[in-house]
Amino acid sequence: MKLIVVAKSRGFTLIEMAVVIAVIALLLSSILVPLATQVEERRIADTRRMLDEAREALLGFLIANGRLPCPASESPMSNGLESPAGGGNCTNFYNGFLPAATLGLTPTDAQGFMIDPWGNRIRYAVTNWPVVPPVPAFTTANGISARFLVGPLAPDLQVCSTGVGITGTPPSCAAGSVLTNSAPAVIYSTGPNGLAGGASADEVENTNGNRVFVSRTVATTGTAGGAFDDILTWISPHVLYNRMVAAGKLP
């Protein structure tokens, strides 16, 4: 008499299934985290490229019109156009938006404002020097060339490496933190968090409506100085003057 042994198939136990799922989740997370980082790095690089293109467009506008454009106002009625049309005394010198429609730049949102890869509007500030009437030189047609004949030009937007120590009226960077103290214009993105009110004191400096801005390394909450993800660039006065000289707009 033969004994027939039948092997019984055994399925996974709940513990084994849990271990398998945990291993798969771990593998997926190791893939997805670098992918998310790559996507964010690409967006940052795209934003820097957009800001560089905006800076060149502003310089092109300068050569064609003898002035820099005013910022677009926040009102949806501005449709991304400078405010006021034709420049002069801008509606808002320090806390406006890039006039994408005036400059012919894209991409824009439904109201005509240029947006960064996170969908936030690109911001733009321009110097109102001289603050003494009759008109600001850098946003008035031929105002730069006219003031050049009178005396030294003095655009006064400042960019600091930290918001710590900003004092005075008008405010100024603390000693040792000045990246530039003579920018005619600043163009910037509020970054991934898109917070117009700022996630830290340094971010607040970029949207508080004065002539001082902060540009520093991207940082998360809990680091020295607090969270910061704004991305800035500015126009050097020397580049601006050289472009005007080359185009025969100065002296």
Task: Give pLDDT tens digits for 112-147.
Answer: 999 999 999 999 999 999 987 678 999 999 999 999
Q: Please provide the average confidence, as pLDDT, over all residues in the chain.
A: 88
Residue at 251 is within a domain: no
Residue at 3 is within a domain: no
Residue at 9 is within a domain: no
Residue at 4 is within a domain: no
In this predicted structure, what is the pLDDT of residue 61? 97
Taking 60 as the threshold, does the pLDDT of residue 5 lie above it? no
> Residue 140 is part of which domain span?
16-246
User: Sorting pLDDT into bands at 50, 70 and 90, what band is 108?
Assistant: very high
Residue at 7 is within a domain: no
- pTM, to two decimals: 0.84
Residue at 2 is within a domain: no
Task: Give pLDDT tens digits for 16-31.
Answer: 777 777 777 776 666 6
In this predicted structure, what is the pLDDT of residue 197? 72
In this predicted structure, what is the pLDDT of residue 64? 95
Number of domains observed in the structure of the chain: 1
Residue at 103 is within a domain: yes
In this predicted structure, what is the pLDDT of residue 21? 79
User: Sorting pLDDT into bands at 50, 70 and 90, what band is 33?
Assistant: low
Task: Give pLDDT tens digits for 143-153.
Answer: 999 999 888 99
Residue at 194 is within a domain: yes
Are 190 and 232 in contact by the 8 Å Cβ rule? The answer is: no
Tell me what percent of the residues of the chain surpass a pLDDT of 90.
66
